[in-house]
Structure formats: structure tokens, C-alpha cells
Structure 1
């Protein structure tokens, strides 16, 4: 496979000269995948991007919407499409099963970072990125101040980090004990979980990607050291809330509260879609490492 070439954009955000566009593969065609495909079709060229392929577990959802030549029938055939960056917006199992292969051939943006709560998967993908020279991108999504957290951690100054996520009970896709707790939150807010993020990710893989991104931004704490608090609140029908509390040395502390508009029952807030597009524009190749974008 031809090595990816860096794309330089001029001040208008357009590709300079006759440089080759970066080819983007989209894995997953849910709401987020559909949004990214449309943005690539509408705005990709002026940003030096073009669609390489779209894959979905149920290929019937692509028929009549995604051009046939861009549909990828078997995910294992992705090499044929010569993508420069592959974006997973499907399910954590895709990251666990195919992430290593993706990184050997291209940069890889993980839309389901809860998959990295599995230590073997995280270590395997870090190694693949390092050895292949490709970048493992972690989109910030709904994580506000992720780069600041990363800088604090890089400097050895971060001591504690807590991420609290509050959503309407209908916005949770959880089963078991958490599911029963969420169903019971009809009159007042209920704490579904409060503890290390690693234990929470497999219980709520579709709801706590923001927490997982925070763990990757703060590797000194990681999934075991970052604390996650998940709350169901029946009085939040129109938005999700994400609160970040970080403490550092010498009495340093910072707290942020982000209100993300979201339809009742929606797993992903509206502002997160645009954030993913912005993250994609950052994926220009940053070498064999993990990069929060």
C-alpha cells in the first residue's frame, strides 16, 4: 500500500496545489456514520478528503443511498480501497477485532474508545501504531478540555480526574442491573454507577465513550484511575450534561460543565456530530502514536 501523504490546507481550508486527497473509510452507518458520509460527500473535496468506502454490518442500509462503488461488502477487504484513514463508528467489537489490521495499513480513528478499556486491546493497538508508524486517533467527542487534560498529564501534574455524565433515562443503552436502575429513574435522578471507568465501559459501551476518551487523554491514571459517574435524570429531556473535574499539584483544580443538546432518547448529543467532523479534519497523520483529536 502506498504510504499516506500529508495534506496541507491553505487559509481557506482548501487543499493546496495538486496534492493527493486523503481517502477516508467509514466503518458503521448509524446516525454518526451517516453524518460523516454526507459531510465527506458534500465538503470533503475542499478539505482534501474523499470517501474510500463505507461498510455496515447490515449492508441493506447502504443500498440506494451510498454509491455502489463505495460500498464495502466484506470488512476484511478494506485493503483493496487503499484508505489513508479509517474511522470506526459502529461498535467496540470492531475495534477489538479489526483495529490492529486497520493500523497496519492506515491511520485509525476510534469512535468507540470504550473498546480500549480492555487492556489487551489497548496495548495491542498502541503497539500496532508504533510499529506501523500510523496514528491511533481518539476523537474528543463530548469531552471538553481534553487537550488541556492531556498536557497536564504529560507534565506529570495530574493527580485525579472525574467525569460525570447525566442523561435522560431513555438515552441509556444498558442492560442488567444498570438497565433496571435506569428504568426506575422516572421521578428523580438515580446514580447508575460511580467508580473506575474500566469496570463501567463493558456495562455501558454506547454511553460512556466520553469517559473512555478522558482515560486515553490521561494515561498516567488510565481506565483504572479515572473515576466515572453515570446518572439518569428524568428532568433532562432535551440535552446531556458532561462534567469534568480535574485536580493537580499545588492545589490546582478545574471544573467544567457541558450541556449538549440532544433529542429525548438519543444516545449521542447533537454537538458531538460536528465535533467528530472537526476531529476528522485533524487526522492528517501524526506518526506512530496515540493522538487526541
Structure 2
């Protein structure tokens, strides 16, 4: 429960680059915005020492409920969503930073049921997705006919489960790594395609199977990621957007996405126990 009517207690699960950013923002700016940290967990707790106040470090994630959070923010790996997502929703709202986990239809259904049962909202941040709310409105009105997303990055920025990119060489140029349904793509690149997963949530009638995605390795993209979205509606309606997201070499997440994620967190104040794109 919140400490008072205007304060939200935030638990952060994961302390990679995005987790560090969020924890620092909450500690610095949270109090004046009505946010305070309830705990921070990381797979390697030693990484938290000296950076996070000792009383906020949670060593055993299974004891998260003892910290009585209003919102739990997952920013680590889809595995944590699979293992703890339903439990998190039984106690608090949940913002899923790894929505690629929702490509598993069984898990997706269980999380939606838990959200409804416990009246806690499953928040899905838009991340690098431009126009997510517009896509959702088209979906809800029945006018969304097709959705395609292409994500192009320097090969050092991909974290793939297979070995399809182990042989890249600097200067090789552009290579299409995968093109197909987002449902098939999420297990291949679970840390890279959360933007596509958010789009699949927005486009609920198409879902993860109906939304098409493509990932492209391009050694020319040394300073930014490129996200292209093609939306198709009825009677020849279409919208194409191109977003260039500044990013360092080797970075999974573009720098602009950090602020997008923070702005999403500021909206997590309860929306009736449902799935909510924020």
C-alpha cells in the first residue's frame, strides 16, 4: 500500500543500465513527484553495494511482498517475468520492461487473469515505439489491418539467443537477420525487440502472431538505432514513421528510450486491473 494518498512505493527488479537510470532518478527526483523506492533487486547483489542504500537492497526476490510496493518495475530479463510475474501482480501493479515475455500465449493469459483477479494493472511501456496509442486506438476501433516494424542496429547492439550473428565483421554493411511474426522473433532476440512486443500489445487484434517484425544488422549504424513502423488501415490508409534513437556501440537500449521509460513510470498510478500501454 502507498504510504499516503499521493506517494507510490516503487520496487525495481534489475540493475542494468536502465535499472541504474531509474533508481538514480527515483532517489533524486522521486520524492517531489510522489515516488519513493521500496527495494532494488539484482541477480548479483554485489553490484548494488555503494550505489543503493543498504536498507533498500533486496537479496531474495521471493520475499518482495515484505517490502509492500505499489508498483514493481521489471527491467532485467523475460525469465523474471515468467517466474515472478503472476506473483508480482498478486501484490502490486507491474510494469514489464521485458514485454517480449508476453509472446508466450500461456504466460500472457496468466498475467492478464492475475491482473483482473487482483485488480492490479499490467503496464507495458511504449519504449522506442512511436505512435503506440494511435495504433491502440485503431485496434480498438477495428480499423487496424496490418502492422510491420523494422529495427536496425549495429551488430554489437544485438543480444540474440542463436548464433546467426557471430560471424559479423566491421564494415560488412546491412544484413537482414530475421523477418516474420513477432511471436517467432521474441524468443530469438528477447532483449532487443521489446518495442515490437509493445506494438503487439497495442495491436491486440493482430497479436504477436499477426504483427510482423524484422531485425537488421547494419555496421553503418554506429551512433543510433533505427525503428521503422508501417501501419495499415482500411481503404488505402497507411502511416509510416522512422525514429532514429541515439545509442552507443554495444548498447541494447537507445538513450532516448530511458526518458520514455521514466515518463511511462510516472503514469503507473492504477488503471483498473488491466493491460495498459503507457
Residue 197 (structure 1) aligns with:
182
Shift of 1:176: 2.5
Match of 2:142 among 141, 145, 156: 156
Query: Do residues 276 (structure 1) and 261 (structure 2) align?
Result: yes
Equivalents in 2 of 1:287, 1:68: separation in Å? 34
Residue 259 (structure 1) aligns with:
244
Residue 11 (structure 2) aligns with:
25
Q: After superposition, what is the alpha-carbon deviation per residue over 1:224-267, rounded to whole angstroms, capped at 9, x for unaligned?
A: 00000100011110000000000011211101000000011111
Query: Do residues 176 (structure 1) and 165 (structure 2) align?
Result: no
Match of 2:212 among 222, 227, 231: 227
Secondary structure at the counterpart of residue 205 of structure 2: coil
Change (3 A) 1:168 1:74: same
Match of 2:94 among 84, 95, 108: 108
Secondary structure at the counterpart of residue 260 of structure 2: helix
Secondary structure at the counterpart of residue 224 of structure 1: helix
Secondary structure at the counterpart of residue 142 of structure 2: coil
Aligned residues: 278
Residue 108 (structure 2) aligns with:
122
Match of 2:33 among 18, 43, 47: 47
- Structure 2's unaligned 5+ residue stretches are none
Shift of 1:184: 5.3
Q: After superposition, what is the alpha-carbon deviation per residue over 1:132-182, rounded to whole angstroms, capped at 9, x for unaligned?
A: 10100000000000000000000011000001000001111114243246x
* TM norm structure 2: 0.97
Equivalents in 2 of 1:193, 1:180: separation in Å? 15
Residue 193 (structure 2) aligns with:
208
The two structures, once aligned, show a CA RMSD in angstroms of 1.3
State whether residues 185 and 232 of structure 1, in contact with CA within 8 Å, keep that contact through their aligned partners in structure 2: no
Shift of 1:19: 3.1
Match of 2:123 among 137, 140, 146: 137
Q: After superposition, what is the alpha-carbon deviation per residue over 1:173-202, rounded to whole angstroms, capped at 9, x for unaligned?
A: 114243246x25742200000000111111
Equivalents in 2 of 1:185, 1:242: separation in Å? 22
Residue 203 (structure 2) aligns with:
218
Change (3 A) 1:185 1:201: farther
Equivalents in 1 of 2:86, 2:50: separation in Å? 31
Equivalents in 1 of 2:82, 2:158: separation in Å? 22
